[in-house]
Amino acid sequence: MTLPLHYWLVSLGDLVLSLRSNHMWQIASRSRTSADVNIAGRARKLMRSAFLRLARLHTHLSPTPLRNIRNMSLKTIAVLDQSELQDGQMKEVEFESGKVLLSKLGDKVFATSAFCTHYGAPLAKGVLTADGRVVCPWHGACFNVCTGDIEDAPAPDAIHSFNTHISDGKIFVTADPSRTTSEAKSRPPKLLASGFEGTVGGTAKNGVVIVGGGSGGFHAVESLREHGYKGPITMISKEVYAPIDRTKLSKALITDASKLEWRSPADLKIKYGLSMRTGTEVTSVDTSKKSLTLNTGEKVEYDTLVLASGGTPRKLPVEGADLKNVFTLRGVQDAVGIDKACQEGKRLVVIGSSFISMELVVAVSKRKMASIDVIGMEEVPFQSVLGKEVGAGLMKFHKSQGVTFHMQASVDKLVPASSDSGSVGGVVVKGQTIPADVVVMGVGVAPATEYLKAPQSVGFRVGGDAKTLSTGENMEKGGAVIVDEYLRVKGVKDVYAIGDIAMWPQQGTGELRRIEHWNVAGNQGRAVGKTIAGSEQPFVKIPVFWSAQGQQLRYVGVGAEFEDVIMQGDPGEMKFVAYYVKGRKIVAVASMQADPVVSKASELMRVGLMPSPEEVRAGKDLLSVDISTEGAKARIGA
Ligand SMILES: Cc1cc2nc3c(=O)[nH]c(=O)nc-3n(C[C@H](O)[C@H](O)[C@H](O)COP(=O)(O)OP(=O)(O)OC[C@H]3O[C@@H](n4cnc5c(N)ncnc54)[C@H](O)[C@@H]3O)c2cc1C
Ligand code: FES
């Protein structure tokens, strides 16, 4: 058999690299200086990228995609009796030492990776719909079971899809066993093999510039390449690291950015052709000249601009708010400060009983702190979002962990410590001082859009609130950017806004709303990426969020100003499903320890088959509604 040239290039590259890096590593180890180790590391990276580029260049000229050349050890294995998989069913099956997910749609059987690329949940425990989507049971990620493509965030990567056939009553899967393990579940981006014009001397000019390295920006990059955008992509981020999993900051207080980064800057460059400018702030945008100004004074031009600058945590405007050891939490530096201050024997006061504050309380609750106090405006935490019953249930849990609540209270001021007038020593509430060595304010975020309001910015006009904006105004007074259903900023060309800063018309009502969820920002990034790549995609996803409050809380829909709650189970036992009712419809569902009810609800809302409040009150189980079989196809509009 004659092997193609790129096979030899990659193999030769690997061989030289391993010999070379081994040699340099030995030199570095002998002299034990970090400079030598760095030289070895750099040399290794340089050589690897040179060979990858050579191989990619050759792949351009070759009909055989690069990713296929590693398919050297395909195996075909009978994994299940045909009779054991019914229409609309999923099953996880063994494949040598790995696992494969089988999904049956009508009479066709599909095989994919068995694990979600977000945090690795078993997809077989999720929800399959007749139009070929599998929704993860945990946080709303969705994949296409026919192709492995990502359908919804927060999936950071697609999954593998494998060939199947049926013979003698058995289902056979053909796969490389090394791709069926949970570590190898991710499929590389589609464009990897064909290259990017921006990085191999093509015709694109300024390309896409993204302001912000958060959820929206991260998912936009993936979507641009996955949907075939070949031009340059530049991401400018104030943060000093590549996009991180921000949601883990409050759940685990991780202080090492490299443990939170979704991909390293090198990976983003090599696999996605992304030019990443970290530690850089955009100070103004001129939409008439299609250019941005950076804090260095440098100008950056764009063909298309994506604004994804997220939120700035609010600080209460009270006396003492600037004392030492008073924190907000948005980035890794904040987590470093909080982690250092929240040590054994210290007293923590959290202002605001929001999701982030209460996650932080859980994260530090095992640190033997002298006291943890929470100050909240409502009767119970989360009341406006989850209702009184769920809030009271979660409060009971937090109290059992030693947390003291001061509810229906607002902060008068923060006072300094008697031993150090520069550091916080207490929080005054209703005339009483709650002692504190550390204070964390979780009192909401404002859209991070100051740079759009700068005098040098052109194209942005701030009006009143969302209901009173006049023509020509594209920012509301709170700083949100107004976009249409394609997330295009009103009144300016080739500019999109996504994520925490974007206010978009809600499906059905047209009401302008801003929603601060990881998945909303991610799915908006994905929609914009697809639109810019050439297939116009309105934003139509149902919002999903999650939180860690002793147990995993899942939530889907838009329950703002709900009128009634239908409760199944007991929030006090942290095991329940809550249905939020507004205008005689179920508009949101929250759950704990009831997977995959929320994933099922998200699909029922998507296809317009969510049962009515009366049906749910009468005992209808969401999991019993058929949206998976051939028979359901017409009803779900597939
Ligand atoms: C601690 C924490 C925990 C959370 N947990 C959850 C959760 O469990 N589930 C959930 O659904 N949501 C959660 N969220 C909310 C979620 O993280 C946000 O909704 C999401 O990150 C919004 O994405 P984004 O891209 O709009 O903004 P961000 O992710 O905030 O990214 C904005 C980026 O823009 C950069 N930036 C801002 N201004 C400029 C500028 N002028 N120039 C250059 N760069 C700039 C920032 O540095 C940042 O890199 C959490 C948020 C926090 C802070
Ligand atoms: S593990 Fe699948 S969405 Fe998080």
pLDDT of residue 27: 34
Is 318 inside a domain boundary? Answer: no
203 and 303 within one domain: yes
CA of 562 to the centre of ligand 1 (A): 26
CA distances from 280 to 103, 297, 607 (A): 46, 11, 42
pLDDT of residue 201: 53
Ligand 1: residue whose CA is nearest its atom 39: 309
Q: Where are the beta strands (DSSP E) in 409-550?
A: 411-416, 424-429, 432-435, 438-441, 445-447, 481-482, 495-497, 502-505, 512-513, 544-549
429 and 286 within one domain: no
Quick one: pLDDT band at residue 294, thresholds 50, 70, 90? very high
> Which residues does ligand 1 sit against, CB inside 6 Å?
211-217, 236-239, 246-247, 249-250, 281-282, 308-311, 329-330, 356, 448, 451, 499-500, 516-519, 521, 545-547
Percent of the chain with pLDDT over 70: 87
127 and 45 within one domain: no
CB 108 within 8 A of CB 114: no
Residue ranges making up the domain that contains 159: 75-187
CA of 547 to the centre of ligand 2 (A): 13
Residue 166: which CATH number? 2.102.10.10
* Helix (H) or strand (E) segment spanning residue 100: strand 98-105
224 and 146 within one domain: no
Residue 626: which CATH number? 3.30.390.30
CA distances from 286 to 290, 292, 345 (A): 6, 6, 52
CA distance 74 to 179: 10
| pLDDT over threshold 60, residue 18 | no
Ligand 2: residue whose CA is nearest its atom 1: 119
556 and 518 within one domain: no
Q: Which of 70, 95, 118 is the last residue of a domain?
A: 70
83 and 16 within one domain: no
pLDDT of residue 4: 39
Q: Tokens representing 516?
A: 């601060």
Q: Which of 483, 508, 540 is the last residue of a domain?
A: 540
Is 132 inside a domain boundary? Answer: yes
Q: For ligand 2, what atom is nearest to the CA of residue 546?
A: 4
Is 321 inside a domain boundary? Answer: no
10 Å Cβ neighbour count for 308?
29
| pLDDT over threshold 80, residue 499 | yes
| DSSP conformation letters of 510-550 | --EE----HHHHHHHHHHHHHHHHTS-----PPPEEEEEES
pLDDT of residue 192: 62
Q: Which of 133, 138, 185 to mutate to test the pocket of ligand 2 (most atoms within 8 A of CB)?
A: 138
Is 242 inside a domain boundary? Answer: yes
Q: Which residues have C-beta within 8 Å of that of residue 488, sequence separation ≥ 6?
A: 495, 496
CA distance 208 to 229: 10
CA distance 298 to 276: 15
Q: For ligand 2, what atom is nearest to the CA of residue 140?
A: 3
Reported pTM: 0.89
Q: Kindly identify the ligand whose nearest atom is closest to the C-alpha of 116.
A: 2
Quick one: pLDDT band at residue 628, thresholds 50, 70, 90? very high
Q: Which of 309, 336, 453, 551 to mutate to test the pocket of ligand 1 (most atoms within 8 A of CB)?
A: 309
pLDDT of residue 507: 87
> What average pLDDT is seen over the chain?
90
Q: Which of 116, 125, 134, 152 to mutate to test the pocket of ligand 2 (most atoms within 8 A of CB)?
A: 116
* Helix (H) or strand (E) segment spanning residue 570: strand 564-570
Structural domains of the chain, count: 5
CA of 210 to the centre of ligand 2 (A): 25
| pLDDT over threshold 80, residue 70 | no
* Range name among 31-40, 158-167, 341-350 with the lowest pLDDT average: 31-40
452 and 305 within one domain: yes
How is residue 338 annotated by DSSP? H
CA distances from 324 to 91, 317, 371, 440, 590 (A): 54, 15, 19, 11, 38
Q: Return the bridge partners of 441, or none.
A: 351
CA of 215 to the centre of ligand 1 (A): 6
| DSSP conformation letters of 252-303 | H----GGGTBSS-HHHHHHHH-EEEETT--EEEEETTTTEEEETTS-EEE-S
* Range name among 79-83, 469-473, 524-528 with the lowest pLDDT average: 469-473
486 and 406 within one domain: no
CA of 211 to the centre of ligand 1 (A): 12
What mean pLDDT do residues 566-593 have?
98
554 and 486 within one domain: no
CA of 242 to the centre of ligand 1 (A): 13
Is 593 inside a domain boundary? Answer: yes
Residue 225: which CATH number? 3.50.50.60
Q: For ligand 2, what atom is nearest to the CA of residue 116?
A: 2
> Which residues does ligand 2 sit against, CB inside 6 Å?
116, 118-119, 121, 136, 138-141, 154
| pLDDT over threshold 80, residue 154 | yes
Q: For ligand 2, what atom is nearest to the CA of residue 155?
A: 3
Phi, psi dihedral angles at 103 (to 5 degrees): -130, 130
CA distance 276 to 281: 12
Is 319 inside a domain boundary? Answer: no
| pLDDT over threshold 80, residue 31 | no
Quick one: pLDDT band at residue 202, thresholds 50, 70, 90? low
292 and 208 within one domain: yes
Q: What residue has token string 């995993």?
A: 552
Is 368 inside a domain boundary? Answer: yes
CA distance 556 to 586: 11
CA distance 115 to 125: 10
CB 94 within 8 A of CB 77: no
- At position 589, the amino acid (one-letter code) is V
Q: Which of 167, 187, 207 is the last residue of a domain?
A: 187
Q: Which of 236, 295, 500, 553 to mutate to test the pocket of ligand 1 (most atoms within 8 A of CB)?
A: 500
* Range name among 60-74, 393-407, 449-463, 618-632 with the lowest pLDDT average: 60-74
How is residue 168 annotated by DSSP? T
Quick one: pLDDT band at residue 204, thresholds 50, 70, 90? low
Tell which residue, 536, 520, 517, has the closest CA to residue 528: 536
| pLDDT over threshold 50, residue 48 | no
What mean pLDDT do residues 448-467 have?
96
Quick one: pLDDT band at residue 194, thresholds 50, 70, 90? low
What mean pLDDT do residues 58-86 have?
68
Is 320 inside a domain boundary? Answer: no
What mean pLDDT do residues 271-291 have?
96
Percent of the chain with pLDDT over 90: 84
583 and 492 within one domain: no
For 95-142, the pLDDT digits (tens) are 999 999 999 999 999 999 999 999 999 999 999 999 999 999 999 999
| pLDDT over threshold 80, residue 221 | yes
514 and 459 within one domain: yes
Compare 182 and 507 and report the one with higher pLDDT.
Answer: 182
Phi-psi category of 310—alpha, beta or left, where left has phi over 0 and alpha has psi -120 to 50? left
